Structure 1
């Protein structure tokens, strides 16, 4: 691991562990200290410092004589999405707040747009679109199941790009020059399908908070449509509304 100072080494190890446990299940065992030190190229002191912090946060648990295991997230921890004056993505929101975001890509393939997706993305029905299905973790805690569709003709490299780290919208900006200017949202409650329930580790038919979002570029063209589904444990969003012009005075 390429780090020059003790602080940067600690942060790099912590970030690696958070991302790693985000892809593991509760009860899974981490490799031994020796294995991790060799893999990451750091001292045991640095590794233990990072693990100690995650134990204190409740993300890891040590069992004497057995090892270190992924533990269940502490209840009541919320990482709300905030929707205000700036159109931005989930990844940037959370990392800007100092949190670590990890992503597990469940599916990334080309599919034919049904009538609804075609309408939302302004493409012909049956046109090829990229379907991207992901689990998002914040500080090691499973946060949301999100399905995103993007027009393949416009963003062909999204069919094969690596979205296990980083922000989808940052990638679109850097690779295609996309600047987001609008986000149309619909918030509702729906029952978890068998597939979503399995991945969110909840009971089928549990009622989930579903946030559907269609984002547009500066020219008013649809960029992507997605639905993020949240369990009752972390179903929380924040909205901030601002009057566009001067507030009329009451008569």
Structure 2
């Protein structure tokens, strides 16, 4: 099966978005529901059909490979890739970490540091952490990569009072929670409350996750606490839905007085 090049529409010269990115975004939408192994239009075909340079067409297909959506087969062309979603589960007795669950599933991970600083807390993180507005905290922004594809964007706020020092290099080499567990400070969070919603990624998050704009993502707001109940982290994560799945196990052991827990779905 081959995706017809005629399904691609023209590029917008005045949009400010690079032509190769526009083509890659179109292809991303076209192949979203296609099975693996579908041949994509060749560079010469894209170049002729859209009136762009051969190099622009090559960059567009390379961008698809970078997103983990296509593979290049020498002498045969570019094809839709086999896509295995990373699955995050709720392991009993341990607050899950995205990176740890990915590695447990047989994937390689890396935490790419986007921003790392001490900064005054905005209103929402301050309220969730139970401290005054503008209290100084660690602002840790990172992208978690799975098998070299970006899958999660995370912005975390952690009180400096609980964590006097953090090492961005150590976090990049493992994960934030592993660093909190082994490094100085109050330790790894013990439990958390989370709120999940489907949202449209803003331009900043979409760019970091290699997604078209607008693109749907799953947003997770988490407030994590220590074993003694002190709030230790507030984070907002954006998960690329086509690359990440959430598995939740509900068992009688989590019931209270014989009543199963209720999963509430609604708008925030």
Range into which the TM-score falls when normalised by the shorter chain: 0.5 to 0.7
Which has the bigger relative contact order, CA under 8 A and spacing at least 6? 1
Pick which of 186-195 and 233-242 moved more. 233-242
**Secondary structure in structure 1 of the residue aligned to 2:139:** strand
TM-score (norm 1): 0.66
In structure 2, what is the equivalent of residue 150 of structure 1? 158
Distance of 1:166 and 1:59 partners within structure 2: 28
Pick which of 116-125 and 228-237 moved more. 228-237
Contact 1:134–1:145 at 8 Å: present in 2 too?
yes
2:243 corresponds to 1:214: no
* Deviation (angstroms), 1:125: 0.8
Pairs aligned (count): 191
Pick which of 200-209 and 104-113 moved more. 200-209
Partner deviation per Cα, 1:1-43 (whole Å, 9 max, x = no partner): xxxxxxxxxxxxxxxxxxxxxxxx9839xxxxxxxxxxxxxxx
Alignment equivalent of 1:76, drawn from 77, 80, 83:
83
* Deviation (angstroms), 1:166: 0.2
Alignment equivalent of 1:114, drawn from 122, 135, 138:
122
Two-structure CA RMSD over aligned residues (Å):
3.0
Alignment equivalent of 2:146, drawn from 134, 138, 143:
138
Contact 2:72–2:79 at 8 Å: present in 1 too?
no
TM-score (norm 2): 0.62
2:62 corresponds to 1:27: yes
Q: What 5-or-longer segments of structure 1 have no aligned partner?
A: 1-24, 29-56, 65-70
Tell me: CA distance 1:125–1:93, structure 2 relative to 1, closer, same or farther (3 Å). Answer: same
In structure 2, what is the equivalent of residue 197 of structure 1? 206
Partner deviation per Cα, 1:78-119 (whole Å, 9 max, x = no partner): 002112533121122122232211121111112211121111
Distance of 2:114 and 2:85 partners within structure 1: 23
In structure 2, what is the equivalent of residue 170 of structure 1? 178
In structure 2, what is the equivalent of residue 127 of structure 1? 135
Distance of 1:245 and 1:233 partners within structure 2: 31
Tell me: CA distance 1:159–1:118, structure 2 relative to 1, closer, same or farther (3 Å). Answer: farther
Alignment equivalent of 2:238, drawn from 229, 239, 242:
229
Q: What 5-or-longer segments of structure 2 have no aligned partner?
A: 1-59, 260-268
* Deviation (angstroms), 1:217: 0.9
